Chains A and B, each alone.
Chain A
Amino acid sequence: MRIPHSKPTITIIDYGASNLISVARAFEHLGIQTQLSDSPYDITQATHLVLPGVGAFGKAMEALIKKKLVDPIREYCLKKRPFIGICLGMQIMLEFSMEFGDHKGLGLIAGKVVPIPKTGKDGKPHKIPNVGWRSLVQYSANRVWDNTILHDITLKSSVYFAHSFRIIAEKESDRLADSFYDGIDICSVIKSGNLYGCQFHPEKSGPVGLKILRNFCCLE
C-alpha cells in the first residue's frame, strides 16, 4: 500500500492517555503530520482518527464523556473513515468492560472486555499483566491481511503487549489477527470495515509497528 500523494493528517484524540506523544512521534517519524485534539469539531472533520489509551477502562471512558467526545467519535465512525484504537483505545471500542465493575464502552464493535484468565492452557498460574513481545497469527486461514493495516506484515512478526484484560469480539469476522499468551488466545487486531483496534502498542513495536501505522495512513 502507498501513502496517498496528498498526505493525510492524522488526528489523535487527546483525552489524557499517557501514550499520546509516543503515538504522535511514531506517525511523525513516518513523515506524517499529526494533530492532537480534544475538540468535537476536529474529531468529526478528521480524515484519519486515532484513539490511544493506557490505564483503566472506566477512567478513560469518563474522560471521553467529560470532554463530550463520545458522540463526535461515533459520528466520525459512521462516515466509514479510517479509525484505530490502540491498547486501551481498542478495548474502549467494544460495548462493555468488566474491569473493576461493569463499564459501557463506545460500542463501535460488538463484544466485551474481560480479564485475561489467571491460568495458562496447562492450568498453571501465570503472570498478569501480559507484558512482552508476542507473534501475530491469523485467527483463521481465510482472514486476509492484504489491504488492511497488516498489509505485507510477515506472519508471526512480534509486537509489544502490556495489558491485563482482553477483548472477546462477538463476530468472528471482526478478528483480523490473534496472539497467544501462555497458550491463552488474545485477539490482537480487530477490524470492522475501516474501524481497527490493536491490543498491542504499534508505536512501541519497532519497525513492524511503524509499518502497521504506515499502513493505517494508506487507508482511505
Chain B
Amino acid sequence: MSNVRLIARLDIKGQNLIKGIRFEGLRVLGDPQQVARRYYENGIDELIYIDTVASLYGRNCLYDIVEYSTNNIFIPFTVGGGLCSVNDVKKVLRAGAEKVAINTAAVRRPELIDEISKIFGSQCLVLSVQAKRRNNKSWEAFIENGREPTGLSVVEWVQKGEEMGAGEILLTSVDQDGTLNGFDVELIDAVVENVTIPVIACGGAGSPEDIIELVKKTNVDAVAMASLLHYNYFSIDEIRNDMSNHDIEVRSIENILYENTP
C-alpha cells in the first residue's frame, strides 16, 4: 500500500461553503477561501472544490476560489461542477487547477472524457460518480448532485470512463454523504477492483476509524472528507496520526512550517 491521500472536499454554492446530508438540506458553513486556507495550513494533502449548482445553470462560479488557491495554496486542487467543454477545462487548468472533475457532462456526452484526456492528459481528468445503492451490491450513477438517475450501473460506468481516458475516479456514495456513518465499503471495493486507475472514496467519513477500516478492507487510493472536517469533529493531524499508528502510510508532515510571509 502506498501513501493514502487525505483530501478535503468543499462543496460551494455561490460564495458559500455548504454541506448537506445525502445532498439535501444544505447548510451554509462559511467562506470557502478561509476554510481552504485553514485545511492547507493544517496539512491536508489535496483539495476538491465542487460548484454544486453549476450544472443546473450551465456555468461554473469557482473562478474566485481557483484564483485564490493558485495564489495562496500550494497543493494540488481539483475543480468540478458544470464543466462541459474542452474550453471550460482549459480555462480552469490554465488558472492553476491540477485536475478537473466531470460528472453530468460526461454522462450526457461520454466522448468528452476522451477529448479532455487526449488534449490535457489523463492525469488531470477525474471522473466524478455519484452512486446510489439499488439493491444488494448494485449501484446506480446519478447526476445533477444526486437528483437525477441515469440508469447506468456504477461499476460499468467507471469501467467505461477508464477506457475513455479518465485518470481517476471520485466516487461519492449519495446514501452515506453527510451522515458521518462511515463509507459504503462494498461500493468502494466493487469500483476499486474493477478499474486500474486511482479511486478517491467520498461520502460518510465520520472518524479516523472509518478511514482506517476502509483502507484495511479495500485498495482505495485516497479519501475525501467534508462534514468530518467542516464541523471540526477531528483534526487532520489526529486522522493522520491514527492512520500512521495503524501502519497506514501517509504523507510525512513533520518539521513543516506553514509560513504566511516567507
Contact = CB atoms under 8 A, between A and B. Distances in A.
A133 B6 CA distance: 10
Nearest to B98: A204
Contacts of A135: 252
Contacts of B86: none
A54 B121 contact: yes
Given A21-B94, A132-B2, A154 B74 contact: no
Nearest to A127: B198
Contacts of A160: 45, 75-76
A205 interface: yes
A127 B45 contact: no
Contacts of B251: 132-133, 158
Nearest to A133: B251
Interface in A171-214: 181-182, 201, 203-210, 214
Contacts of A126: 2
B72 interface: yes
Contacts of B45: 132-133, 160
B197 A127 contact: yes
Interface residues of B, number: 39
B74 A131 contact: no
B71 A25 contact: yes
Nearest to A134: B3
B93 A18 contact: yes
A210 B124 CA distance: 22
A127 B93 contact: no
A164 interface: yes
A203 B258 CA distance: 14
Contacts of A31: 262
A31 B261 CA distance: 9
A203 B94 contact: no
Contacts of A132: 2-3, 5, 45, 221-222, 251
A169 interface: no
Interface string B107-126: 00000000000001111100
A55 B197 contact: no
Contacts of A18: 93-94, 120, 124
Contact of A158 (B76, B167, B221, B252): B252
Contacts of B40: 206
Nearest to B259: A207
A127 B162 CA distance: 12
B88 to A, nearest CB: 14
Interface string A132-171: 1111000000000000000000101110101110000000
- Most chain A CB within 10 A, of B71, B72, B98, B259, is at B98
Interface string A1-45: 000000000000000001111100110111100000000000000
B2 A154 contact: no
A40 to B, nearest CB: 23
B11 to A, nearest CB: 22
A134 B253 CA distance: 11
Nearest to A210: B74
A206 B255 CA distance: 12
Given A22-B96, A31-B262, A163-B123, 6 more contacts: A25-B70, A26-B74, A28-B71, A126-B2, A127-B198, A206-B75
A29 B252 contact: no
Contact of A21 (B72, B76, B95, B196): B95
A78 interface: no
B7 to A, nearest CB: 11
A216 B179 CA distance: 46
Given A22-B70, A158-B251, A164 B123 contact: yes
12 contacts: A18-B120, A18-B124, A25-B70, A54-B121, A55-B120, A131-B123, A132-B221, A157-B256, A163-B123, A203-B74, A207-B258, A208-B256
Given A132-B221, A206-B75, A54 B2 contact: no
